[in-house]
Chains A and B, each alone.
Chain A
Amino acid sequence: MHTTLAFLSIFEGYTGEEVRSIFVMQSFSGLSLFAVFLLMALGLAIIFGQMKVINMAHGEFLTIGAYTTVFMSDLVEKSVPSALPWYFPVAVVAAFFVAGAVGFVVEVGMIRFLYKRPLDTLLATFGLSMILQQVFRLIFGAREDSAVMPDWLMGSWALTEITEIPINGMFLLGTAIGVTGLVYLLMYRSRWGLRVRATVQNREMAGAVGINTKMTDRWTFALGCGIAGVAGAVFTTIGSVSPSAGQLYIVDTFLVVVFGGAGSLIGTIASAFAIAQSQSILEFFLDGVLAKVFILLTIVGILMIRPQGLVVSKIRR
């Protein structure tokens, strides 16, 4: 009771209507955060959940996507400025392919030697993350860069007099929902998804029914990285890019995947939503660090009771 009262005291000094509008606006900013978390976590859920690879460089694939967007924005601004209003969707697709291609190369050159050795992958990808950050620094410089945003992505939509919804946040959310839908279709309605699910469940047997499990791994890793690239591209609508931008999100992303239950699409979505919303709303009233501590403690508590995460598939094995 005492703690509840203490908790409620953070609302002191706001009128009821202000509190409501704060909640609405913070929820919407939470939705933007949810979108970034979801896009990042989808890629990681595929890579970690399906392949059991702990990819510490996942954040850097976000950065690759973001820099691809910045690069395209610069290119279009210099060569065909008239295309500026429409380059962005193209940049999102390009970010997917660039990050995916780098992921493919990383799988061939490094990851495939480390399957079944999760701790070694952790170390190796941590090293890769530092190398990639340095490469970004060499190519793009250490200062922050940003992409030119088309006008249609700027500004906000006034819901009431004191509640405004930013358009870039809505775009972010739309992209996240779209990509999640596509991933769902790929995983559950395509031959590729069937290969992935069979391989995850029983690698030996998947090979013995004719599935090329090595190629399945390669494309799965590339797809996960490509999705992180999309996250990076849409990330440029809410922030600027620096060589270490991906680092900001990697811990949260792992948190989302583990809390949601590795390998579960629904769990990942629910977990990304819960974490993003709590963070966004708590952040307003407490400060950022306290909000994070509070969320971390809650998740640790829940995982102690339910170590398998929010969602697990129930099946006789």
Chain B
Amino acid sequence: MLNVNNLKVAYGESTVISDLSFDVKKGETVAIMGRNGMGKTTLMKSIIGVLKSRSGTITVDGTEVAGADSHRRVASGIAFVPQGRQVFSTLSVEENIRAGQETVKDRRKVPDNIYALFPVLHEMRRRKAGNLSGGQQQQLAIARALVSQPKVLLLDEPTEGIQPSIIKDIAKTLNEIKKVYDLSIVVSEQVLSFTLDIADRLYVIESGRLIHEDDRASVDEAKIAKYLSV
């Protein structure tokens, strides 16, 4: 469903991601794990197109998107939940969700299943998004991504800055989304317990390269934990 091949991303002279390849099958959830500064966010941003890659290919369901503007990538079926949520804080909750409907045909109203999945967003639909709590903003950012009817959902460190009790809820919601929407998920994370709750497969990223791959069934937790410790 998503195929990244020989990706290279650089800021000016300094290369952040080099020769990185991985693929995600339909309905599969893949986690990219790594410490801060290892290139997780850069990878996510270059898949959605906020950052342009230097070389390599990115295909979504067979469509090549590397080089395209991000709005075109969204139209091809990628959706992005960024680090720090980045909801449109001066817009209402409902307007935030509607902003995510840009690339779909029927955008007269917010789909009922979104509010069924996130009842709190329905309650707060007229509030400014900037006045929501971190956990509520995370739900909003996920809802905003889902309404574009993606084939691949990217989540960049969804647990960052969220209370531990809410992290469990996010994992539960993501598993529910997987069931209902049958989509592929790529999530970047540092929290192993959360990752094991949702991922089918996981990679470890270090200095812009994928250095380790594991299936959830056979995962060596101690080894992953070692990669994640400073």
Where the two chains meet, the residues of A that have a C-beta atom closer than 8 Å to any C-beta of B are 191, 194-195, 197-198, 201-202, 204-214, 313, 315-317
Alpha-carbon distance between A197 and B99 when the two chains are bound, in angstroms: 10
Q: What's the tally of chain B residues with a CB closer than 8 Å to chain A? A: 29
Given A208-B50, A209-B102: A201 and B91 interface contact (C-beta under 8 Å):
yes
Alpha-carbon distance between A206 and B148 when the two chains are bound, in angstroms: 13
Q: Which 4 A-B pairs have the closest CB atoms?
A: A210-B74, A210-B102, A315-B130, A210-B103
Question: Which of A211, A212, A313, A316 is B99 in contact with, Cβ under 8 Å?
Answer: A211
**Inter-subunit contact B90/A208 (CB<8 Å):** no
Given A197-B91, A201-B89, A315-B90: A208 and B130 interface contact (C-beta under 8 Å):
no
Binary contact track B113-136/A, C-beta < 8 Å → 1, others 0: 000000000000000101100000
Where the two chains meet, the residues of B that have a C-beta atom closer than 8 Å to any C-beta of A are 48-50, 69-71, 74-75, 79-80, 82, 86, 88-91, 95, 98-100, 102-103, 107, 128, 130-131, 144-145, 148
Contact sample, A vs B, 6 pairs, CB 8 Å cutoff = A197-B88, A197-B91, A205-B88, A210-B75, A210-B148, A315-B128
Alpha-carbon distance between A195 and B101 when the two chains are bound, in angstroms: 11
A contact residues around B99 at 8 Å (CB): 194-195, 198, 206, 209, 211
**Inter-subunit contact A208/B131 (CB<8 Å):** no
Alpha-carbon distance between A212 and B102 when the two chains are bound, in angstroms: 9
**Inter-subunit contact A209/B148 (CB<8 Å):** yes
**Inter-subunit contact A208/B49 (CB<8 Å):** yes
Alpha-carbon distance between A208 and B75 when the two chains are bound, in angstroms: 10
Alpha-carbon distance between A71 and B75 when the two chains are bound, in angstroms: 45
B contact residues around A204 at 8 Å (CB): 50, 70
**Inter-subunit contact A209/B91 (CB<8 Å):** no
**Inter-subunit contact B130/A213 (CB<8 Å):** no
B contact residues around A205 at 8 Å (CB): 82, 86, 88
Write the nearest CB–CB distance from A51 to chain B, whole angstroms: 16
Given A205-B82, A210-B75: A316 and B102 interface contact (C-beta under 8 Å):
no
Alpha-carbon distance between A292 and B61 when the two chains are bound, in angstroms: 64
Write the nearest CB–CB distance from A193 to chain B, whole angstroms: 9
A contact residues around B89 at 8 Å (CB): 201, 315-317
Chain A minimum-CB-distance residue to B129: A315
